[in-house]
Homo-oligomer: A and B are copies of this chain.
Amino acid sequence: MFDRIAILGPGLLGASLLQAAKRRGLCRRTAVWSRRPETRLKCETQPWCDAVFADAGDAVAEADFVVACTPVDTIVPLFAQIAPRLAHGTLVTDVGSTKSLICRHARAALPEKVAFVGSHPMAGSEKTGLEHADPELFQGRACFVTPLVDTPAADVERVARFWKALGMEVATTTPEAHDEIAAHVSHLPHLFASAYCAYLSTRDPNWIHFAGPGLRDTTRVAAGDPALWKAIALQNREEILRALDGFQRELDQLRAALHNNQPFPLQHLLERGRDYRLRLRPLGEKPKEG
């Protein structure tokens, strides 16, 4: 499918991507760039890594597919940096969790002769780093591919085909539609979990011993990297604020039902919540027939 895939930032996603691509025979060679010497050293001993570079331009120079897997606020500067070294016809994408800002600026930062289509494979984890890489990380997960209005359909198709080959279910949307959806199904729930844990940290420290599986699950994502999530939250702040305002209205109704001791509105809210949650099928499970 590709001759050389170059990964910029071999963290959980980047390393899993190369493992998956190697396992599925989607490329002949792989190249990796990392800013950190210790990560480059680790990569040199990995079977899924054919070449390691200290310079991002060197890593992409011979690549026909470049995937930026660095934090969302570093992707566009990195594109600007590698722009002069990209070969004619190279396909470039990124795996950033926000898309409007990145896609708009990436297209401007990259030369006309390369193809760019943004992606967001929804396969993250609160675990980070290539130590947790897994070639099946993408299997059965959703992936956004987010062309701009003038992105050639053939380029979109090439990127979508790659993610499908990793086992992903690909949805093509505008970057703006992606950001609205991601704010609702990922960014806002993450920020809630963080804010809730931050709130609990202001209360009696002994209460932590009474945390059951419910609190553990509802707050699991709060263990994620604060710097990564700060960048995501700021890049998608407008959609997150809109979602927050929408949810705040639901929360105000909950508060009123409790305050006024009203069983019926409370039960109605709980029923609507349960009905929605029951439609969220477990990962990998097929929808029920009939």
Contacts and interface: CB of A to CB of B under 8 A. Distances in A.
| Copies of this chain, count | 2
A273 B194 contact: yes
16 contacts: A122-B210, A142-B209, A169-B209, A181-B210, A186-B214, A195-B247, A196-B273, A197-B277, A201-B276, A202-B250, A203-B246, A219-B273, A220-B277, A224-B270, A229-B270, A241-B258
Nearest to A258: B237
A165 interface: no
A120 to B, nearest CB: 9
A237 B123 CA distance: 38
A194 B241 contact: no
Interface of A: 122-125, 141-142, 144, 169, 171, 181-182, 184-186, 189-204, 207-227, 229-230, 233-234, 237, 240-241, 244, 246-251, 253-255, 258-259, 261, 263, 266-267, 269-280, 282-283
- In the A-B complex, list the 8 residue pairs whose CB atoms are closest, starting with the nearest: A194-B273, A226-B270, A197-B273, A197-B276, A201-B276, A198-B272, A222-B277, A199-B250
A198 B241 contact: no
